[in-house]
Copies of this chain bind each other. A is one copy, B any other.
């Protein structure tokens, strides 16, 4: 029974669903604990369908997006927290970085997942990455005794962006999500404002499943998610 803790930080409340819900489900299915943190609700930039409704308000969009993300997180066994920092643009000030670092010190994650450093199609994803990377370092300090409260360093990975090659995203590890794929489908179904992404990310799961089969020869893999480790991990044998 795993006792590992995973934190997934997205710029917008739905980001974790498409790119990491399978890995979250694998993690919690194995007994681990997971929290999803949304820096914003994507209320302006990624909720177009909701804005088509006459009389729509920003508060109502946020309320709906919160409920959807909570439901999606629940589908993969995770808790959901929102910082509501605003989107398009997401601008994460020093105090929000410090707040995120405090959350990390409290939760002490073994593994942190977020967006890649670059994304020429989205102004908020790199802002989220920078905030998470900074908070993570402020959480652990220099790996020696410090003059402030710390938590141990976490593994740090990025999940797959929408156009991987143009974000310099190179997969270094595939998670076989075949056993939990139904949970991911359920999580995706919860994001009603972005149903056009379900087919797209369903195809991605198939594609990465194909890649994971290719690299292992294991024909039992059907779906997978791709991640890039930003730092070496430590193992007891290869």
In contact, A176 and B134 (Cβ under 8 angstroms): no
In contact, A147 and B44 (Cβ under 8 angstroms): yes
A210 CB contacts on chain B under 8 angstroms: 200
A55 lies within 8 A of chain B by Cβ: no
Beta-carbon contacts under 8 Å, A206-238 to B:
206-207, 210-218, 221, 224, 226-227, 229-238
Closest to A50 in B: B147
Interface size on A, residues (CB 8 A): 92
In contact, A147 and B235 (Cβ under 8 angstroms): no
With A173-B233, A218-B234 known as contacts, the answer to whether A165 contacts B166 (CB < 8 A) is no
In contact, B234 and A45 (Cβ under 8 angstroms): no
Partner of A147, one of B61, B206, B233, B234: B61
Q: Is the interface of A mostly helix, strand, loop or mixed?
A: mixed
Assembled-state Cα–Cα distance A89/B137 (Å): 9
In contact, A89 and B134 (Cβ under 8 angstroms): yes
In contact, B138 and A88 (Cβ under 8 angstroms): yes
> Hey, what's the 0/1 contact readout for A138-154 against B, CB within 8 Å counting as 1?
10111111111000110
In contact, A231 and B203 (Cβ under 8 angstroms): no
In contact, A203 and B212 (Cβ under 8 angstroms): no
Partner of A163, one of B45, B134, B211: B211
In contact, B122 and A142 (Cβ under 8 angstroms): yes
In contact, B144 and A122 (Cβ under 8 angstroms): no
Partner of A171, one of B152, B156, B166: B166
In contact, A175 and B236 (Cβ under 8 angstroms): yes
A43 lies within 8 A of chain B by Cβ: yes
A23 lies within 8 A of chain B by Cβ: yes
A194 CB contacts on chain B under 8 angstroms: 144
In contact, A147 and B48 (Cβ under 8 angstroms): yes
Selected A-B contacts with CB under 8 Å, 21 pairs: A23-B238, A26-B236, A30-B236, A45-B141, A45-B148, A46-B144, A47-B147, A52-B145, A58-B147, A88-B141, A89-B97, A89-B138, A111-B238, A120-B230, A120-B231, A121-B215, A123-B134, A143-B217, A163-B211, A163-B214, A212-B234
Top 9 A-B residue pairs of the complex, sorted by shortest distance between their CB atoms: A48-B145, A152-B217, A123-B137, A26-B237, A44-B147, A143-B214, A203-B203, A48-B144, A165-B170
Known pairs A43-B147, A49-B145, A203-B206 / 13 extra A-B pairs, C-beta < 8 Å: A29-B237, A45-B146, A51-B147, A88-B141, A121-B137, A121-B142, A123-B137, A143-B213, A144-B196, A175-B235, A175-B236, A215-B232, A215-B233
